[in-house]
């Protein structure tokens, strides 16, 4: 494998049953959903031991991203080689048919609440679809204290402590670690630190039909991880970087990941020399040109551009909407 040159890589989505999920990912991804079950998540790029993404195109078909990371780190990461123990981002589509649990993720510096081998979790969403009851809860209402939350938990009234807004398609929302949050009746793209550490504060008193029991809560851990300064979170104001030949917008910039959106029907460049990039197609289709070959990308698919690919032309077939993810060149420990 060491002798094989990396190229634009596509991956098989991994579907996840969730009590709050639905069937709306059927219209976003080509891979059929498992029958009957509510599917809440499609993990489209995952370097997790329990759910590793596998390549579905080219000579490396069947290889996991973990194998690529271990065997071709320079090709994959370029300037960032040696900075990470695994691919640092986890990418998903979420179908939140019902509202998720009220939850919080620890920040990287709360080591006491992060299991060995994990890290904290900052995440961001881009809203792709909304239902009539679409709601995003993000942050606490100003002035909310730990004592008030504890009292409201006993009365099943903790929702009254959460700030919320009605999302619109195209909204981008940054949920920094320590932010109390949940969302319902929306389909979103999610990018997050590669972590699976979630502490549930409240789960709306519902029963999991598969077990006949409520899901576990981690109230003490959740309370310990809340940043009480994270209040009244709203969608981020988009920054237009350019209008020609396509619309380029900066959605999210932070120490863990950067996210931009490209919309248009004319060819444009993706990727960057000696840096990895990830493309997620959320509407339309097109092709990445690399090494005199064309790599097709359509709605619902993800493509990892390894660092050795550098900057590549993307040729749309009609209007396309692409999310392009990058890692900061200065990695913060």
Query: For residues 295 and 315, what is the distance between their CA atoms, to the nearest angstrom?
Result: 10
Q: What are phi and psi of 309, to 5 degrees?
A: -75, -25
| Residue 119 C-beta-side C-alpha neighbours within 13 Å | 18
Q: Which residues contact 271 (CB under 8 A, 6 or more apart)?
A: 277, 305, 309, 310, 311, 312
Dihedral of the CA atoms 90, 190, 241, 134 (nearest 10)? Answer: 180
Q: How many residues does the chain have?
A: 333
CB atoms within 10 A of CB 27: 11
Does the annotation mark 200 as catalytic? yes
Reference 134, options 39, 36, 17, 235; nearest CA is: 235
Q: Of 200, 248, 261, 277, which is the active-site residue? A: 200
By the 8 A CB rule, do 312 and 258 touch? no
By the 8 A CB rule, do 246 and 266 touch? yes
- Angle in degrees, CA 266, 191, 45, rounded to 5: 85
3-state secondary structure of 243: coil
Copy the structure tokens of residue 316: 């749309």
Residues catalogued as catalytic: 200
């Amino acid at each position: 494998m060491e002798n094989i040159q990396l190229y634009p890589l596509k991956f098989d989505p991994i579907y996840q049953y969730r009590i709050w999920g639905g069937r709306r990912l059927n219209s976003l991804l080509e891979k059929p959903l498992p029958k009957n079950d509510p599917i809440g998540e499609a993990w489209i790029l995952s370097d997790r031991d329990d759910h590793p993404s596998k390549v579905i195109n080219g000579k490396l078909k069947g290889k996991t991203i973990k194998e690529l990371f271990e065997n071709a780190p320079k090709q994959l990461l370029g300037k960032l080689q040696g900075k990470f123990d695994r691919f640092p981002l986890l990418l998903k589509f979420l179908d939140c048919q019902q509202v998720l649990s009220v939850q919080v993720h620890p920040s990287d510096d709360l080591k006491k609440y992060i299991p060995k081998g994990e890290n904290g979790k900052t995440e961001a969403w881009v809203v792709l679809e909304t239902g009539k009851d679409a709601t995003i809860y993000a942050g606490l209402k100003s002035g909310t204290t730990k004592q008030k939350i504890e009292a409201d938990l006993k009365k099943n009234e903790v929702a009254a402590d959460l700030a919320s807004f009605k999302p619109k398609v195209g909204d981008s929302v940054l949920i920094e670690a320590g932010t109390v949050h949940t969302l319902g009746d929306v389909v979103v793209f999610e990018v997050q630190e590669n972590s699976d550490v979630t502490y549930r504060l409240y789960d709306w008193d519902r029963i999991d039909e598969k077990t006949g029991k409520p899901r576990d809560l981690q109230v003490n851990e959740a309370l310990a991880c809340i940043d009480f300064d994270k209040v009244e979170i709203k969608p981020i104001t988009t920054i237009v970087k350019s209008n020609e030949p396509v619309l380029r917008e900066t959605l999210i910039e932070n120490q863990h990941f950067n996210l931009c959106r490209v919309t248009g029907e004319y060819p444009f460049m993706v990727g960057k020399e000696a840096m990895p990039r990830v493309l997620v197609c959320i509407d339309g289709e097109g092709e990445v040109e690399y090494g005199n070959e064309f790599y097709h990308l359509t709605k619902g698919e993800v493509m990892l551009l390894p660092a050795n690919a550098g900057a590549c032309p993307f040729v749309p077939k009609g209007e396309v909407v692409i999310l392009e993810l990058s890692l900061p060149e200065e990695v913060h420990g």
